[in-house]
Amino acid sequence: MEVTQILVEGKVQGVYFRAKTQKKAKMLGLTGYVKNLQDGMVQIIVSGVAEKIDLLIEWINRSPEGSRVDNIEIKTLETDKVFKTFSIK
């Protein structure tokens, strides 16, 4: 299992980006959370199989309907944190 932080920049707040991300992550069997940051970015912490995380990243890169993704920063995290579901914070 891998834990990855994804920071998404663009028009990603106020456009249901978090809800759509939660739905997609759950479809892929991923756990973690998504939350808005004060600087207008969205932070995603996702745990699961690397191939499924890659599919989520590809989906984000395609700018889910209503959003505009300008930049994504991806970082693998070293953590033992276990998530039971994928939540919106």
List of domains in the chain: 2-88 (3.30.70.100)
Given the residues 36, 62, 68, 71, select the one marked as catalytic: 36
Q: How far is CA 45 from the centre of its chain?
A: 6
Q: Decide the pairing of beta strands 31-36 and 86-88.
A: parallel
The pTM is what?
Answer: 0.96
Question: Could you give the CA distance from residue 83 to residue 37 in angstroms, rounded to a whole number?
Answer: 20
User: Do 60 and 72 touch, CB atoms closer than 8 A?
Assistant: yes
Q: Is 36 a catalytic residue?
A: yes
The yes-or-no answer on residue 18 being catalytic is yes
Rounded Cα gap, residues 38 and 29, in angstroms: 28
pLDDT in tens, the chain (89 residues): 899 999 999 999 999 999 999 999 999 999 999 999 999 999 999 999 999 999 999 999 999 899 999 999 999 999 888 899 999 99
